[in-house]
């Protein structure tokens, strides 16, 4: 390691290392600066409002509230199943009478 520091390129390597580390950390430092200055407050308020709306929607869905259209569709499907259940025994009895 002693040979590296005695090399004429040592100062250049040292500067290049710190410039590259600084370049990588610059976006992080800018983000921290904005956060400290309060620039992230608008984003935080927007995200909190979005979370509040999503929580309200989840609570609505968990409450079991069903749209009127969904309820009507369900009633229609129940009627169709009832009709099919009444119709199937007639066909099977008519088919068995025809075979005999």
DSSP sequence for the chain: -HHHHHSTTHHHHHHHHHHHHHHHHHHHHHHHHHHHHTTTHHHHHHHHHHHHHHHHHHHHHHTT---HHHHHHHHHHHHHHHHHHHHHHHHHHHHHHHH-
- In order along its 100 residues, the chain shows pLDDT tens digits of 567 667 777 888 888 888 888 888 888 888 888 878 776 566 778 889 999 999 998 888 777 766 777 888 889 999 999 999 888 877 767 666 655 5
Tokens (6 digits) for 68: 């009127």
pTM of structure:
0.33
Q: For position 79, what pLDDT does the model report?
A: 95
Q: For position 66, what pLDDT does the model report?
A: 64
């Amino acid at each position: 390691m002693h040979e590296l520091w005695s090399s004429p390129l040592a100062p250049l390597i040292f500067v290049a290392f710190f410039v590259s580390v600084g370049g990588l950390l610059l976006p992080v430092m800018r983000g921290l600066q904005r956060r400290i200055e309060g620039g992230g407050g608008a984003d935080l308020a927007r995200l909190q409002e979005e979370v509040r709306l999503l929580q309200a929607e989840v609570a609505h869905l968990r409450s079991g509230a069903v749209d009127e259209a969904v309820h009507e569709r369900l009633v229609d499907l129940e009627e169709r199943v009832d009709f099919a259940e009444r119709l199937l025994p007639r066909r099977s009895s008519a088919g068995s009478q025809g075979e005999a």
